[in-house]
């Protein structure tokens, strides 16, 4: 079974009561109280978990558990080969503790987490990923070179991330795109190609337009303001 880095608790060994997050941490750290097992990744790493927590947090798992044809109803086992065990571990920590250790990876891990959140239908987790991504980006943009490989990698991952986002996430996506614009170049040719092959979805285009409306025009030194797209000298 995967080892989850949860904080130590005394449990109820001393007869004390457990409340809220403390109780969830105790449950996570004591597999003998679990009532479902999830096998994640191609290696089928096992996680002993609790339906009361996982099904409330995940629409996908809830739908599986509520289905009369759900074989896990008798085996109490769920197989998620599409989600790497390291990624699923962070999802578990977030569902139990509302927190996980964030690592900056130029959007690579963020993309995997967003994909997993989309598959498992965990709306709140997706929003938290974008929040952490945008927060960390504020301090990372200074390390990006203009049109550098790191900036290009970040843009590629961001484009893919947008495919798994909803309109409710647009504010965070615009913020991220606005931070990226000084370091990447999105040309009309790129946009046409992206729209043709489907790599540029409507959410990414909305984020791009929203971000461009808030930054200066590199050609004339003006700033695009208002819905009319008029330019005003600054």
What pLDDT, on a 0 to 100 scale, did the predictor assign at position 40? 95
Question: What pLDDT band is residue 145 in, cutting at 50, 70 and 90?
Answer: confident
Average pLDDT score over residue span 204-210: 97
- Residues near 41 by beta carbon (within 8 Å), at least 6 away in sequence: 80, 81, 83, 84, 85, 88
For residues 107 and 94, state if they share a domain: no
Mark whether 41 and 21 lie in a shared domain.
yes
CATH of residue 34's domain is 3.30.710.10
Query: Does 54 lie in the same domain as 167?
Result: no
What pLDDT digit, counting tens, does each position of 63-81 carry? 877 766 555 555 678 899 9
Considering the domain architecture, whether residues 219 and 121 belong to the same structural domain is answered as yes
pLDDT at 60 over 60: yes
Q: Among the three residues 99, 132, 166, which one is the final residue of a domain in this structure?
A: 99
Tell whether 136 and 232 lie within a shared domain: yes
pLDDT of residue 27: 72
User: Domain total for the chain?
Assistant: 2
Alpha-carbon gap, residue 227 to 212, rounded angstroms:
12
Q: Which residue has the higher pLDDT, 10 or 78?
A: 78
Share of the chain above pLDDT 90, in %: 53
**Do residue 106 and residue 43 come from a single domain?**
no
Q: Is 231 found in the same domain as 130?
A: yes
Q: Give me the domain span that covers residue 70.
A: 1-99
Residue 10 has pLDDT above 70, yes or no: no
Residues 112, 94 within the same domain: no
Please tell me the predicted confidence (pLDDT) of residue 143: 82
- Domain boundary pick from 67, 99, 131: 99
User: Which domain-ending residue is among 99, 129, 159?
Assistant: 99
Same domain, residue pair 71 and 128:
no
Indicate if the pLDDT at residue 186 is higher than 60.
yes
Pair (156, 45) in one structural domain? no
On whether both 55 and 146 belong to a single domain, the answer is no
Higher pLDDT, 37 or 162: 162
What are 172's two structure tokens? 């965070």
Q: Are residues 32 and 135 in the same domain?
A: no
């Amino acid at each position: 079974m995967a080892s989850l880095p949860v904080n130590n608790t005394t449990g109820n060994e001393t007869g004390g009561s457990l409340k809220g997050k403390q109780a969830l941490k105790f449950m996570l750290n004591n597999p003998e109280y679990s009532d479902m097992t999830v096998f994640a990744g191609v290696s089928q790493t096992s996680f002993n978990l609790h339906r009361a927590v996982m099904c409330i947090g995940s629409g996908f798992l809830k739908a599986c558990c509520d289905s009369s044809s759900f074989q896990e109803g008798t085996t109490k086992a769920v197989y998620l080969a599409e989600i790497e065990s390291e990624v699923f571990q962070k999802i578990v920590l977030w569902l139990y503790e509302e927190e996980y250790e964030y690592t900056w990876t130029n959007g690579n891990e963020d993309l995997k987490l967003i994909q997993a959140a989309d598959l498992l239908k965990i709306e709140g987790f997706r929003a938290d990923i974008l929040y952490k991504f945008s927060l960390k980006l504020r301090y990372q943009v200074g390390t990006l070179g203009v049109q550098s490989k790191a900036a290009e990698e970040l843009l590629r991952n961001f484009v893919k991330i947008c495919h798994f986002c909803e309109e409710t996430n647009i504010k965070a996506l615009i913020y991220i795109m606005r931070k990226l614009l000084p370091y990447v170049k999105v040309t009309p040719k790129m946009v046409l190609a992206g729209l043709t092959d489907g790599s540029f979805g409507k959410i990414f285009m909305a984020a791009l337009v929203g971000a461009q409306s808030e930054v200066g025009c590199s050609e004339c030194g003006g700033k695009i303001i208002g819905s009319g797209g008029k330019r005003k000298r600054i």
